[in-house]
């Protein structure tokens, strides 16, 4: 086929492993510029840097490429059963009944009050540690969306699950069989959450009141697959409840920082948000759709700062990528960060320009590459919900306050890239806008 065997390695002046550890984003950007579509980080580890190869790998996931085992595996089931492909497909279909864009639009009144409350309760006139506040608000919104009236019973347990995941991510990656304290803590939190959720499921089934929330959708039998086993519901909600707050918190951090750095864009968001009903419980899908500029701001921030800036895959079949041969077992890291900053895809890629997303009104899919939620069979199930909560948090905050970075002397945040792209330790200060709603 005339394929070169391997993609180019990092050029010497870009730096080796040490440079990668010090400045992953810088190395990724320079390597994409100097090596082209696909480059080699080290033996057996390729990086897909531009739109074409990134999209190819993501779309071919589950047949040519597999995902890597996550750090957050479900606990073993009491009956020893393991999910097969049919159960996974059924679980996905059941979750998507509550997470597809139309379903999210219909339940936007469940999401909106928490976003307004987040903004109302912002402590003005002093520096605020932003990420923990956002995380608390998003966790409460997620719990309400997934468990509705049962959220109060589960939210504390969900917070401990999120903490357990943090501990796992921060701990040294020992082989899976080593019972580290982080793993024991996780197992304990998984068991506590599962026990309470089992009680909630049993009560809903025995009363026949399954609920209109995400859990209710999962409890309804499907015409294609029948009833999803309780163990499958518990496994998937143990992961999903953490996902409702974890990545959206990082994204919200970048968005709020962007509002502080781009006051003109913040003013435009504020003026658009002025049309929202004052009672957030009455906000509808149509009100959300009308926030076109705010949605464009969210998309533009996700383009520039995709929290999942590297997505890991492993080749399971011999295949080919951008003319290079990929042997089974090769790790391929898909890099939305560099794909999003390719001038052929987005003119002036380093410039924050929300208007670029307005050229194509009403369409959720634009011609330019947009990978913050991944693509293909393992893409984000919660993208519509994330867009709804991030857009409303942005609108509700900007309509009430001007945000500022603290005057110094230190920076407002540290950019961290291990695991995810995070404005770690972000601190911002809010001053009320004149005539802002209370
Ligand atoms: C800004 C917010 C979010 C971003 C940027 C994001 C990003 C992503 C990405 C990139 C993936 C795929 C990872 C990969 O391909 O390896 C993913 C998977 C997933 N996300 Fe999200 N996510 C967000 C919010 C959410 C929310 C709110 C939920 C839940 C309601 C959610 C649920 C999930 C689930 C269940 C998966 C796994 C899908 C699978 O493995 O098949 N995410 N997310």
Q: Is 382 in the pocket of ligand 1 (CB under 6 A)?
A: yes
Which of 146, 380, 387, 391 is the pocket-test mutation for ligand 1 (most atoms within 8 Å of CB)? 380
Which of 247, 253, 295, 310 is the pocket-test mutation for ligand 1 (most atoms within 8 Å of CB)? 247
Which of 131, 151, 213, 243 is the pocket-test mutation for ligand 1 (most atoms within 8 Å of CB)? 243
CA distance 66 to 313: 6
Q: Which residues contact 336 (CB under 8 A, 6 or more apart)?
A: 54, 306, 308, 309, 310, 311, 371, 372, 374
Q: How many A from CA of 248 to the centre of ligand 1?
A: 9
30-72 pLDDT, tens digit per residue, is 999 999 999 999 899 999 999 999 999 999 998 899 998 776 6
Q: How many A from CA of 372 to the centre of ligand 1?
A: 9
Please tell me the predicted confidence (pLDDT) of residue 61. 93
DSSP string, 348-412: STTS--GGGGSSSTT-S--SS---TT--GGGS-TTHHHHHHHHHHHHHHHHHHEEEE----SS-S
Tens of pLDDT, residue by residue, the chain (438 residues): 445 689 998 877 677 778 888 899 999 999 999 999 999 998 999 999 999 999 999 999 988 999 987 766 777 787 778 888 888 999 999 999 999 999 999 999 999 999 999 999 999 989 999 999 999 999 999 999 999 999 999 999 999 999 998 898 888 777 777 888 999 999 999 999 999 999 999 999 999 999 999 999 999 999 888 999 999 999 999 999 999 999 999 999 999 999 999 999 999 999 999 999 999 999 999 999 999 999 999 999 999 999 999 999 999 999 999 999 999 999 999 999 999 999 999 999 999 999 999 975 555 445 589 999 999 999 999 999 999 999 999 999 999 999 999 987 889 999 999 889 999 999 999 999 997 777
* Ligand 1 nearest atom to the CA of residue 244, by list position: 27
Q: How many A from CA of 171 to the centre of ligand 1?
A: 22
Please tell me the predicted confidence (pLDDT) of residue 11. 73
Does residue 414 contact residue 275 with C-beta atoms inside 8 Å? Answer: no
Please tell me the predicted confidence (pLDDT) of residue 72. 64
CA distance 18 to 20: 5
Does residue 141 contact residue 109 with C-beta atoms inside 8 Å? Answer: no
Please tell me the predicted confidence (pLDDT) of residue 1. 45
Q: Is 309 in the pocket of ligand 1 (CB under 6 A)?
A: no
Please tell me the predicted confidence (pLDDT) of residue 360. 59
> Hey, whose CA ends up nearest to atom 26 of ligand 1?
382
Please tell me the predicted confidence (pLDDT) of residue 192. 95
Q: Is 337 in the pocket of ligand 1 (CB under 6 A)?
A: no
Does residue 10 contact residue 29 with C-beta atoms inside 8 Å? Answer: no
Q: Is 247 in the pocket of ligand 1 (CB under 6 A)?
A: yes
Please tell me the predicted confidence (pLDDT) of residue 417. 95
Give the closest residue to 218 by CA, choosing from 190, 238, 188.
238
202-241 pLDDT, tens digit per residue, is 999 999 999 999 999 999 999 888 999 999 999 999 999 9
* Ligand 1 nearest atom to the CA of residue 138, by list position: 27
> Hey, whose CA ends up nearest to atom 11 of ligand 1?
380
Does residue 418 contact residue 141 with C-beta atoms inside 8 Å? Answer: no
> Hey, whose CA ends up nearest to atom 17 of ligand 1?
380
Please tell me the predicted confidence (pLDDT) of residue 116. 97
Domains located in the chain, CATH noted: 1-67+309-356 (3.30.43.20), 68-308+372-432 (1.10.630.10)
Indicate the pTM of the whole model: 0.94
Q: How many A from CA of 3 to the centre of ligand 1?
A: 34
Q: Is 53 in the pocket of ligand 1 (CB under 6 A)?
A: no
Q: How many A from CA of 438 to the centre of ligand 1?
A: 33
Q: How many A from CA of 246 to the centre of ligand 1?
A: 10
Please tell me the predicted confidence (pLDDT) of residue 74. 74
Angle formed at CA 376 by CA 35 and CA 389, multiple of 5 degrees:
100
Please tell me the predicted confidence (pLDDT) of residue 95. 96
The residues that bridge with 426 in the sheet, in sequence order, are none
Q: Is 373 in the pocket of ligand 1 (CB under 6 A)?
A: yes
């Amino acid at each position: 086929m005339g394929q070169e065997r391997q993609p180019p390695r990092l050029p010497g002046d870009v730096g080796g492993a040490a440079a990668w550890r010090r400045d992953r984003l810088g190395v990724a950007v320079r390597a994409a510029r100097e090596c082209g579509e696909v480059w080699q980080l080290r033996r057996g580890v390729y990086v897909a840097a531009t739109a074409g190869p990134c999209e190819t790998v993501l779309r071919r996931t589950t047949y040519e490429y597999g995902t890597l085992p996550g750090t957050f595996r479900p606990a073993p089931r009491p009956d020893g059963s393991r999910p097969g492909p049919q159960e996974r497909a059924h679980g996905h279909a059941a979750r998507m009944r509550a997470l597809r864009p139309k379903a999210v639009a219909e339940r936007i009144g469940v999401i909106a009050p928490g976003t307004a409350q987040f903004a109302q309760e912002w402590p003005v006139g002093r520096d605020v540690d932003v990420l923990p506040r956002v995380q608390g608000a998003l966790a409460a919104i997620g719990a309400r969306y997934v468990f509705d009236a049962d959220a109060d019973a589960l939210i504390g347990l969900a917070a401990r699950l999120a903490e357990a995941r943090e501990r796992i991510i921060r701990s040294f990656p020992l082989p899976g069989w080593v019972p580290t304290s982080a793993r024991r803590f996780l197992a304990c939190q998984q068991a506590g959450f599962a026990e309470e959720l089992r009680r909630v499921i049993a009560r809903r089934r025995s009363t026949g009141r399954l609920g209109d929330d995400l859990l209710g959708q999962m409890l309804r039998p499907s015409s294609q697959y029948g009833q999803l086993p309780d163990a499958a519901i518990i496994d998937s909600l143990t992961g999903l409840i953490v996902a409702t707050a974890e990545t959206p918190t990082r994204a919200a951090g970048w968005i709020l920082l962007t509002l502080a750095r781009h006051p003109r864009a913040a003013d435009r968001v504020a003026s658009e948000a002025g049309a929202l009903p004052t009672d957030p419980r009455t906000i509808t899908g149509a009100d959300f759709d009308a926030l076109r500029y705010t949605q464009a701001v969210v998309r533009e921030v996700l383009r520039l700062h995709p929290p999942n800036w590297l997505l890991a895959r492993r080749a399971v079949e011999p295949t080919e990528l951008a003319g290079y041969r990929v042997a089974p077992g090769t790790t391929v890291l898909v890099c939305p960060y560099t794909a999003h900053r390719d001038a052929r895809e987005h003119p002036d890629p380093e410039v924050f320009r929300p208007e670029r997303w307005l050229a194509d009104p009403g369409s959720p899919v634009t011609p330019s590459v947009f990978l913050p939620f991944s693509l293909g069979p393992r893409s984000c199930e919660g993208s519509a919900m994330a867009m709804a909560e991030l857009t409303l948090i942005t609108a509700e905050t900007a309509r009430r306050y001007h945000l500022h970075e603290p005057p110094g002397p230190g920076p407002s945040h540290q950019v961290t890239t291990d695991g995810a792209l995070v404005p770690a330790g972000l601190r911002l200060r809010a001053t009320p806008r004149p005539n802002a709603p209370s």
